[in-house]
Structure 1
Amino acid sequence: MDDNTFLPKLSQNLLEILEDNEYYDTTIEVGNDPYVKIFHAHMVILYYRSPYLRRILSTNRKKNDGILTHIKLPNISPEVFQIILRYIYGGRLSLKEYDTLDIIKILVAANELSLQELITHLQSFLIINKENWINQNFNLIYQTSFNNDTFLKLQNFCIELISKEPEKIFNSIDFNSISEKCLITLIKQDDIQLDDIQIWEHVLKWGIAQNPELPSNSSNYSKDDFNTLKITLKQCIPFIKFYNLSSEEFLNNVYPYKKIIPKELREDLLKYFLNPKNQSIKKLNNSKSIDSKIITLQHAELISKWIDRLEITDEIKNSYEFKLILRGSRDGFSSSKFHEICDNQFHTISIIKVKDSDEILGGYNPTIWDSFFGYYSATEDIEDCFIFSFKSNDSTDIANNILSRVTVKKYAIYNDSNFGPSFNGLILFGSNYYDESYCRNSSCYEKPIRETEEEFSVEEYEVFQIMKTGKTDAKKELKMRKELKGLK
């Protein structure tokens, strides 16, 4: 018999005790005037179920004088406490019957009562089941999570959302109501995946929304209007990477608001954009974004260096565009889907997130993928193949990586309709890449990129086409693509 067989009956009996008004020894006054409700409870259950109530009861132990212990909880509404009290007694809580705002209220109340088990469960429920709602009401979730040190799961979710999907936040229905502190947290992220001109436009939109008295058309702004907006955005301006903008973007989107930019910075920007050859001011390197659920811009920059055979400390020579062409969660995890999308695509990076791990694996194929059976070594570019791994997707831990370049060129890339991206030392195999993918210690590459050769499951994977930015480079890539297709 299952050890848990008797738990449902126990839960039912404890809830019956809660509803029995005869044997209670504690009263709990919940809420504030004019809406206050008195609940009856049992000291022994409260003592062992809630650390917060335990502390109160420990300083107010019941004496054998027939007087009931009385507790006040003014910060919790009676409706929410009713839900939590039933959880305390019966260990039951069906969240599907409550709307998201109610669940957040339950979470805040659970935190006050130090119900850690419930706090963890509620955070997970919100993240898994209410992601769309969070995207649309980001400010509320952000403020709630960072006002409470125990809401670490929600905090991490917010940080990841800021970094990887900032547009969801900027387009949320409550974006204009976020605090200045929250906005600065958003725009100062080094790996925020948003173009700098978009960041400027969103910041400007937020600043204008804080001052509804401003004219709808900036051409009608008075000196006082510009000064009002300048004061509002004073703390945000230093985090805008103006030097990453094109001359056209600066002229059309920034210059009309030049009066809100500090004088010294404004003069430097004018000098810079009037004379683009002037290199006295160095561009920051966050002018591009990457559409990835796995890696950050820092990972992409390091991969770009590897493509150019540079060290991690070297300065980037070429600017590469990472164009997403396949994502497993969007397009599917089958080898057939991989070849449908990626065959005949040149210069691709495959990125793999290992399930139940922070580990990231990947490989660079400078040639094309194909469905024919065998190894592919049709061009001299094959010598630029490499595979790699990162211990985590944390951009601050990017140095914790393994890079392994090809040593036996003719066995660098393996093509087969039954395989996904396959680099000999890194293989995705099967109809769904579940428990059939692996890294092995292949002599065709310098070294293994994983400590184990055990098979693993793929949580997510993405394939990017890598292209140098600029018209000249684009023409070269197009020519190379035609040449590669001619080899078919």
Structure 2
Amino acid sequence: MAHHLIGAETKIGMPSLPRRGFIDSVTLNSKQAAILSNWIDGGKNDDDLNLLLPKNNPYEFSLIYRGSLDGLNIKSFREKYKKLKCSTLLVIKLKNCDKIIGGYSNHFYYFSNNHLDESGSFLFNFDQNIKSYKKIDGLFKNLYNGLHDFNNQLVFGNGDLVIYFDNLSIKCKQISYKERLLKQDSTYQVEDIELFRPIWK
């Protein structure tokens, strides 16, 4: 009976496990994901975010949609989320800008005018190297703070963040939230969009 020895140089292929704190994103890194998890749990801007270790992130972020992968259009977006009835995290990478923006929504509505408790929804922005970041809470509890789908647009609040899929642009106002998401009164172009479902581990 032949015996086959595995030499010291032989490498055995093993399935790799995702790193703790890893997020499947082309926009966010694991540190930003940890900050967002803290905000989802009610954390504030003045929390000591240096204490947030990605490996201790209590959430997994399940990728639902990525524009650069699935198609950067409203039809592809709807195909991915239309059956969802859960909280969602929308992340937008802007062209020619170091800002990453988006929002967390307690609920997501597919062609619906019904509004549930949206008091936990918020908007956020980061710069690419996380030297600045901000969570923006809603002005009014339980009303119009979340993410909604209307026609060819995705809307947070009453127009505080509007994504136009027809020309891949966004505009920001200050209506339902305490601050304006982006200070400049101009139109920004979208480079990519990701939608995640936060799941408690």
* TM-superposed deviation, 1:321: 0.5
CA distance in structure 1 between the aligned counterparts of 2:34 and 2:133, rounded to whole angstroms: 13
Instruction: Note closer, same or farther for the CA distance 1:421–1:341 as it changes in structure 2 (3 Å cut).
Output: farther
Amino acid at match of 1:351: V
Once the two structures are superposed, what CA deviation does each residue of 1:370-397 show, in whole Å capped at 9, x if it has no partner? 123x3x422x3x100000111x2224x2
User: Higher helix share goes to which structure?
Assistant: 1
**Which residue in the other structure is 2:100 paired with?**
360
The answer on whether the counterparts of 2:61 and 2:197 sit within 8 Å (CA) in structure 1 is yes
CA distance in structure 2 between the aligned counterparts of 1:394 and 1:302, rounded to whole angstroms: 13
The answer on whether the counterparts of 1:347 and 1:367 sit within 8 Å (CA) in structure 2 is yes
**Which residue in the other structure is 1:348 paired with?**
88
Once the two structures are superposed, what CA deviation does each residue of 1:365-420 show, in whole Å capped at 9, x if it has no partner? 11123123x3x422x3x100000111x2224x2xx112111122322133313213
CA distance in structure 1 between the aligned counterparts of 2:105 and 2:83, rounded to whole angstroms: 12
TM superposition outliers: structure 1 runs of 4+ over 3 Å? 215-218, 314-318
Instruction: Note closer, same or farther for the CA distance 1:431–1:216 as it changes in structure 2 (3 Å cut).
Output: same
* TM-superposed deviation, 1:358: 1.1
Once the two structures are superposed, what CA deviation does each residue of 1:207-247 show, in whole Å capped at 9, x if it has no partner? xxxxx9626489xxxxxxxxxxxxxxxxxxxxxxxxxxxxx
**Which residue in the other structure is 1:214 paired with?**
8
User: Between the two proteins, what is the percent identity of the paired residues?
Assistant: 24
Instruction: Note closer, same or farther for the CA distance 1:368–1:344 as it changes in structure 2 (3 Å cut).
Output: farther
1:259-298 matches, within 5 Å, as 287-298=20-31
The answer on whether the counterparts of 1:404 and 1:447 sit within 8 Å (CA) in structure 2 is yes
2:35 match: secondary structure = helix
* TM-superposed deviation, 1:453: 2.6
**Which residue in the other structure is 2:120 paired with?**
384
Give unmatched runs, 5+ long, in structure 1: 1-211, 219-252, 254-285, 470-488
The answer on whether the counterparts of 1:338 and 1:420 sit within 8 Å (CA) in structure 2 is no
**Which residue in the other structure is 2:76 paired with?**
337
CA distance in structure 1 between the aligned counterparts of 2:194 and 2:9, rounded to whole angstroms: 45
Instruction: Note closer, same or farther for the CA distance 1:322–1:307 as it changes in structure 2 (3 Å cut).
Output: same
CA distance in structure 1 between the aligned counterparts of 2:21 and 2:75, rounded to whole angstroms: 31
1:455 aligns with 2:187: yes
Which structure would you say has the larger RCO, counting Cα contacts within 8 Å and 6 or more residues apart?
2
Q: Give the total of aligned pairs.
A: 181
The answer on whether the counterparts of 1:318 and 1:468 sit within 8 Å (CA) in structure 2 is no
Instruction: Note closer, same or farther for the CA distance 1:351–1:360 as it changes in structure 2 (3 Å cut).
Output: same
The answer on whether the counterparts of 1:334 and 1:420 sit within 8 Å (CA) in structure 2 is no
**From 369, 385, 407, the counterpart of 2:109:** 369
Give unmatched runs, 5+ long, in structure 2: 1-5
**From 279, 301, 323, the counterpart of 2:34:** 301
CA distance in structure 2 between the aligned counterparts of 1:411 and 1:421, rounded to whole angstroms: 10
CA distance in structure 2 between the aligned counterparts of 1:371 and 1:419, rounded to whole angstroms: 11
Instruction: Note closer, same or farther for the CA distance 1:462–1:216 as it changes in structure 2 (3 Å cut).
Output: same
Amino acid at match of 1:420: L
TM normalised by structure 2 equals: 0.79
1:356-435 matches, within 5 Å, as 356-372=96-112, 374=113, 376-378=114-116, 380=117, 382-390=118-126, 392-395=127-130, 397=131, 400-408=132-140, 409-413=142-146, 414-420=148-154, 422-423=156-157, 424-433=159-168
CA distance in structure 2 between the aligned counterparts of 1:410 and 1:287, rounded to whole angstroms: 36
CA distance in structure 2 between the aligned counterparts of 1:318 and 1:341, rounded to whole angstroms: 25
2:119 match: secondary structure = helix
2:75 match: secondary structure = helix
CA distance in structure 2 between the aligned counterparts of 1:308 and 1:349, rounded to whole angstroms: 13
1:330 match: secondary structure = helix
The answer on whether the counterparts of 1:336 and 1:417 sit within 8 Å (CA) in structure 2 is no
Once the two structures are superposed, what CA deviation does each residue of 1:439-468 show, in whole Å capped at 9, x if it has no partner? 1122x1111121113111101111111010
CA distance in structure 2 between the aligned counterparts of 1:394 and 1:217, rounded to whole angstroms: 37
